[in-house]
Structures are given as C-alpha cells and as structure tokens.
Amino acid sequence: MSLVTVTSPDNPEKFLLMGQSVGDLLKSAIEAFNLPASETYEIRRESDGVKIISDDVLRFLSGATEKDGNLTVVISPVTNPNLNPVTTPNLNGGVPVTSPPRIPLCPNRPNVVRPPLPMRNIVDSLNPILDIALHPELHNITPGRFLKQKKAAVKETYQEVVKFIKAKVKCYSHATAKHYAQLVLGYDGGKFSKLFEVKVGSSVKSGLGPFTLQVYNHLNYRKDDTEKRPRGARRRLELGDDDNEDDPQIPADMSSAAYGCVRYEEPLPIEETEESQEQKRLDLLSVEPDCAEAEVLMEKTYVSQRISINRAVPLKKRLPEVFRQWPLLRHRKHLCQHASRLLGKDVQTVWSSALGEKCGRFSDFMLTHWTTEDKRKSSTLSRKMLDLLQEKEAASVSLSLQSNCLAMFPLLTGFLKDQEGLLFKLVPAATSDDDVLGQINSDNPLLVIRGQSLFDVNATADLFITRICIPPDNPLDGFLLLILAYFAFPSIPDSPPLTLTHHPETKHYFVFGFKYPSKVASSLEFIQRQLLDINPERGSKRDGRNKTGMAAKVRTLTEQLTYHCSTWSVCRF
C-alpha cells in the first residue's frame, strides 16, 4: 500500500491518498477531484514529469521518498490519445481487431512529454488583478495604476510559464508555447482569459496569440548583452571609466557556483547535530592552531563556520563576534583551508601557479607601456611607475621572482588609476600597532606592510579586517589573504535567526563578504580573475551601474596583455 500526495493542474487542492496499484490510485484520485470518468488519465511524478505506469515503480518511489515526505504525483488526462491502441469491431462477425497505436506518418516534431503546469504561483499573481477588474467599485485604485499592476502580473505569468518549460519540458517549439498558453487561459473555465484579451479597434480578441508569441520569443530569443546607453555614457565605457550609480540587483536565478562559491552554505551532515557542532567548536578553543587536530576540527565544523559568517548582519559590526567564536579563522592556514572548501579549489596552489606564470610577463608589459607612452598621459604617474620598475629590478637580486610578484600590485593600481592606499599601505618598520590602527579609516580589508619599501627583505605584513589583525607569512602572502577576505558572501538582508539545519535558497558571492570599494574595484577584480581564476559569467563585487559584467578597464587591460603575450586570456561572457 502506497501513501501518495496527489495534485491536479486544474485544481489547487491536494489530497493524501493510498493505493495498492496505479489503477487504485487513479480511481481514488478521480473520485477525490471529481473528474469525468469518461476520460483516460495518467499520473506523473511532480518533480520531473516522469510518467508512472508500473505498480512496482509506484511502491518503490513511495518508499524511497519517505524520509523527505510523501511522493507527490500529478493526475491529468492522457495528452495524446492517438498513441493508445484502438479496438475496432470485425465486420465479418469475428473477434474484434486491436490495431497498434495510430502514429502520424509524417510527424512535424518528435513526441514531447508536456507535464502539467503548476498553477499556484500564477493563480496567486492573477487573482488580485481579476478581483479588481470584476469589482472596481470595491478598490480605491486609479485606472492607470490598475493597468500598471495588470501588466506586471501578466508579465510575471509569462515568466512562470517560460521558467517551467525550460526546467521541465525542454522543448521550445511554437506548439509547446501554445499548449501552455491554452492551459493558463483555459484554467478554471477560462476565468483569467479576460486579463489577456487584446482590444483591436472596437473589437476584442482572445489573448492566445500574443500569449503564445511572448512565451515562444522568451524561449528562443534573448536580448543582446550590450545594454543601450546614452552616447556620453557609451563613450565613457569605451574609455574604461566605470560609473558608480545604483543598478537593479543581479538576477535571482543565478547560482552561487557562478560566483565561484560552490559551498556557500551546506546542509548539516546526517551524522552531525547542532550540539555536536557546538562541542567541536568548544574543543577548538583549547587546541593549538598548528596541530593536526585543529585542522580536522575546522574541516568538520565548516558548516557551522559558514552559518556564523552568513548570519553576521550587519557584517562589519558582527564580524568581531565571528572571530571570537572561531578564533582559528584569524590564522592564515585555517583561513586558506576555509576558502579552498568554499571556492572548490586549492587557493594556495592556484595563486602560486598564476603568480609564477604571469607576473614576469606583466612586468615586461608595464615596462613597455610606461616607456612608450605618449605625452598626453600623466608624466607624474609615468615617472612613479618607472621608478617602481627600476626599484623592482634592483631588488630582483635578493628577491628574485618575488620582486616581480610584489611589483604587480602597485603597477596594477597605477595602470588602472585606482587608489593604491585602499589595497595596501606601506609604513616604517618601527610603526606601532596603535599608530597603524590610527591610520586605518575603513573597515574594509587592508594590508599594512612594515618596512623601508615594498621590496624590503625584512618587511613584515598584517592584514586588518574591521581593525582585527590576521598575520600572513610575508607581504606577498598578505595579498592572497586580502583578496580571500573579500571573497565569499555578502551579508544577508534582515531575516529571522536560522538553525544549522536550515539551507536557504539565497544566492551570494564570496570569505567575509565585503564589496569592492569603488576606488580600487578594478584592481581587485583583475586579481580575482587572473590570479584566483574566479570568472563569473555575470555579476561582480563592484558597486554601481556595471554590477552585472566585467569592468571595462579590466577587460581593456586583459586584452592588451593578450596582445603582448599569449599567457593571458580574455574571459568569455
């Protein structure tokens, strides 16, 4: 006996039914939904539209989903009766002849399974609009505002249908679009058809044609990626100047993996509980950071660490509390371990490989660029960059490859005309911690290097996040921790407290979730893409108008490096 939740595309009700077989379940469902007994029905799994015809399969699926709840199926009329065998009487008085299914000799397209369309969201969207249309005297709303709300609801209906077809049907034909348009317009006796009617002159026509065309166009055509801009803005874009005006949020259907975070917030393992996670957290407070036990416990409590960071709202005020709960996140080794799991890659290996492969050629490009620049460019900036390159060459005797790597960051900010002081700050070696904190006027991550110069072999570095110090192994290592601190997840909007077992469907970016400051955003994005190989197709951690694509200045520099040497590659968008 199988316990199954049964739904119908034409009825918002759900019934919990039991059946020994598919036939029993169909019979019970027909009675429950009061469906015409003269038609032929079938049941399909709601999640993917797979048709269930075997009693054994029904029992297996019902048992397999017991842990997550009851199996949910949809009952609907057989979509293509021509595929059923046809029995015709024998004119000679013999036994009736059963012919094979009638299949068109020249089908226009392969047979497509069209699972029933879930109507709940569509009904919730259209019902308020229909109520206003039928009873305008009960609603204090102007005609103009009503038309605006109606247009928004109709558009939302199109999007729901398109989303369902892309996810479940995967057939983008005109016939498919028309089929689902008919389902919406014919729902509950055509109650919503009035909202889709089109007025042509003095006559009113059915909205089936426009509905079908809208769905078909959404399925088969997409808007060009190049946004239309006023001429002045387009000229600024070509010159590589980013604006910082607000823009709509990044589309909600983008997965967090697209931003590089493949493990933004994982569910709690089956063998773990909130109590066991808390006990491991307490154990971490008493172990040495460099011992093997600490590494194991940090790996096992990754889920709890993510929960703590994701719920730190507002982030800049509550991040110190996160560090008090998880003090080992202030140690370079464990921060990199956490980031590697978050991003799904060994960040240290990727970083070291990219630096070794690209930094030398980057310096060669910069030398060529600044020695051949025309007089229209800033002579002050040019002299500063050439002095830096000369200092780098002098330091290469003692620092070798490391000098190229360290020089990359000020050369990058200089080329992109970003504010170097928001990326790192060089202070004398004898500067006290209090004096350093006095010079930090932002909660964003900042690398402070103590030494005579960036290439000082005795230089030390500290990374400050919300005025909390994380010591790297050396200045070059500090730049890795700096970018990792930006990467992982911005704070979540105000929401009720969530437990460890909760797994929200939010989409976020990268470890402590700070957005890139506008005056150094291009440099940080270049480091993200070229040194950590994090290249989202859309979106970024920048503020402003261009939040859904690569910064123009970053693209320009990448293309110039491509021309200079083939090691660099332009990311595809």
pLDDT in tens, 396-438: 766 666 878 899 999 999 999 999 999 999 999 998 888 888 8
Q: Which string of DSSP letters, residue by residue, matches 235-274?
A: HHHHHTPPP----PPPPTT--GGGGT-TTSSPPPPTT--H
Whether 126 has a pLDDT exceeding 60, the answer reads yes
Better pLDDT: 300 or 139 = 300
**Is residue 222 predicted with pLDDT exceeding 60?**
no
Higher-confidence residue of 500 and 48: namely 48
The pLDDT score that the predictor gives to residue 282 is 94
CB atoms within 10 A of CB 456: 18
246 pLDDT above the threshold of 50: no
Asked if residue 65 has pLDDT above 90, the reply is no
Q: What is the pTM of this model?
A: 0.53
Assess whether pLDDT exceeds 50 at residue 22. Answer: yes
> Strands 51-52, 41-45: parallel, antiparallel or unpaired by DSSP?
antiparallel
- Give the whole-angstrom CA distance, residue 255 versus residue 119: 25
Are 208 and 201 contacting, i.e. CB atoms less than 8 angstroms apart? no
- Which range in 56-60, 87-91, 346-350 is most confidently predicted, on average pLDDT? 346-350
Which range has the top average pLDDT, 20-29, 288-297, 440-449?
288-297
Cβ atoms of 415 and 369 within 8 Å: the answer is yes
Structure tokens, 66:
């017991």
Q: To the nearest whole percent, how much of the chain has pLDDT over 90?
A: 17
Mean predicted lDDT score pLDDT of the chain: 77
pLDDT, greater one: 358 or 402: 358
DSSP 116: P
Write out the two tokens for 8: 């119908």
Distance CA 205, CA 202 (A): 10
Distance, CA of 350 to CA of 355 (rounded, Å) = 9
- What per-residue confidence (pLDDT) applies to 292? 92
Tell me what pLDDT residue 244 has: 41
Q: What is the pLDDT of residue 501?
A: 35
Q: b vs e for 99-110, b when ≥16 Cβ sit within 10 Å of the residue's Cβ?
A: eeeeeeeeeeee
| pLDDT at residue number 243 | 43
Over the stretch 325-349, which tens digit does the pLDDT of each residue have?
999 999 999 999 998 988 888 999 9
Please, what are the domains in the chain?
Answer: 2-82 (3.10.20.10), 120-220 (no CATH), 257-573 (no CATH)
Output the pLDDT for position 94.
52
